[in-house]
């Protein structure tokens, strides 16, 4: 199939997860953090429900009729999003957020 006649499609999948965190900067005093972040600076943290939508775009495979196998996308999202983030304390359980507010 030539590039001009290729059929393109998008496939989206969403997941929701819950996690907690604390807005707190190590470069500020406790008083400055409280003034800047208010109740979100609670020493015990606070939680949120998050929604992540992943969209892939590509040519439709002429044999399978798919852009991507939905089961594969689900597995990738489980590994990249759900396992490291769901029901976690982002500040303590996710290395990236240990240094980033």
Rounded to whole angstroms, the Cα distance separating 6 from 60 reads 8
Claim: this prediction has a pTM higher than 0.75: yes
User: Would you state the pLDDT for residue 3?
Assistant: 56
- Other beta carbons within 10 angstroms of residue 1's beta carbon come to 9
Return the CATH number of the domain spanning residue range 8-94: 3.30.479.10
**Contacts of residue 25, Cβ cutoff 8 Å, sequence gap at least 6:** 32, 33, 36, 101
Whether pLDDT at 39 is above 80: yes
pLDDT band at 4 (very low <50, low <70, confident <90, very high): low
pLDDT band at 73 (very low <50, low <70, confident <90, very high): very high
């Amino acid at each position: 199939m030539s590039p001009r006649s290729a059929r393109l499609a998008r496939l989206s999948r969403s997941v929701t997860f819950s996690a907690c965190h604390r807005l707190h900067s190590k470069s500020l005093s406790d008083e400055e953090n409280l003034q800047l972040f208010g109740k979100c600076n609670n020493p015990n943290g606070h939680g949120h429900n998050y929604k992540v939508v992943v969209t892939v775009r590509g040519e439709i495979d002429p044999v399978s009729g798919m852009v991507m196998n939905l089961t594969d996308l689900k597995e990738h999202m489980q590994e990249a999003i759900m396992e490291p983030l769901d029901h976690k304390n982002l500040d303590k359980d996710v290395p990236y957020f240990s240094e980033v507010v």
